[in-house]
Amino acid sequence: MKKLVALLVLTVCIIAVAQQRFDMKVREYFFTGFAGNSAALDKGMKICEDFLAANPKYPEAMVWHGSGIAYRSFQAFQTGDQQKGVELWRQGMQEMDAAVETAPDNLGVRIPRGAFLLTSSHFIPDPQMTRTVIAKGVSDFEKAYELQKSRFSELGTHPRGELMLGLADAYSRLGDQQKASEWFGRIRTDLKGTLYEDSANLWFQTKSLPARQAGCLGCHTGN
């Protein structure tokens, strides 16, 4: 469970790339909640629920709330309650998917769902389901890149690195070595002298990355 919590904290760090107004209201509660503070997660979820009570289709609230429910599914699985775990996972996925359907071009929706799915995929035992989850996360990150493509070079090191590294590692895990190589190669070119380049160099040596080198590098450093 500790490993799961640690990687879900990385999810929030990646999510922080999307500097949306609603994100600023809840992300610290979810950050702390995913680190194991259930009271903080409850508070973040309550903020989402209050927004949804006033506007049931508020996409940013839907995606964050859905990620919280999906996180709780892992807690249920850890306690051995398989039925509850499956129910919570499905509910969380439905909420996150509905958010994307409502606002497919919203970075504050696409990045949270993609980051959560790519991180959570490390803990799904079924290989086919894992591939499905990774592929959906890739679609979110690809969309996020397209939405920012015209100004991507103007973004800071952290948001560029997290998006590129997330895509590169996800394609590698899907077995698409060509696309993985393209993204890792771009990291080497565009982010020289950074931790992202270190991860890219490691991938070219081993063709895989440990989860902790596949995202949330240099978080909260102001880059």
Domain total in the chain:
2
164/129 same-domain check: no
The distance in angstroms from the start CA to the end CA of the chain is 30
Is 32 part of a structural domain of the chain?
yes
Is 206 part of a structural domain of the chain?
yes
108/205 same-domain check: no
Is 139 part of a structural domain of the chain?
no
Contact assessment for residue 30 and residue 65, using Cβ atoms and an 8 Å cutoff: no
118/217 same-domain check: no
pLDDT in tens, 172-214: 999 999 999 999 999 999 999 999 999 999 999 999 998 888 8
Is 141 part of a structural domain of the chain?
no
pLDDT at 130 over 90: yes
7/115 same-domain check: yes
Last residue of a domain, one of 103, 133, 163: 133
Residue 2: count other Cβ atoms within 10 Å of its Cβ.
7
How is the chain classified by DSSP, letter by letter?
-HHHHHHHHHHHHHHTTS--HHHHHHHHHHHHHHTT-HHHHHHHHHHHHHHHHH-TT-HHHHHHHHHHHHHHHHHHHHTT-HHHHHHHHHHHHHHHHHHHHH-TT-HHHHHHHHHHHHHHGGG---HHHHHHHHHHHHHHHHHHHHHHGGGGGGS-HHHHHHHHHHHHHHHHHHT-HHHHHHHHHHHHHHSTTSHHHHHHHHHHHHS---GGGSS-TTTTS--
184/81 same-domain check: no
162/128 same-domain check: no
pLDDT in tens, 87-116: 999 999 999 999 999 999 999 999 999 999
Is 146 part of a structural domain of the chain?
no
Q: How confident is the model at residue 23 (pLDDT cuts 50, 70, 90)?
A: confident
Q: How confident is the model at residue 69 (pLDDT cuts 50, 70, 90)?
A: very high
pTM: 0.88
**Which residues form the domain of 174?**
155-223
The whole-number pLDDT of residue 222 equals 37
107/194 same-domain check: no
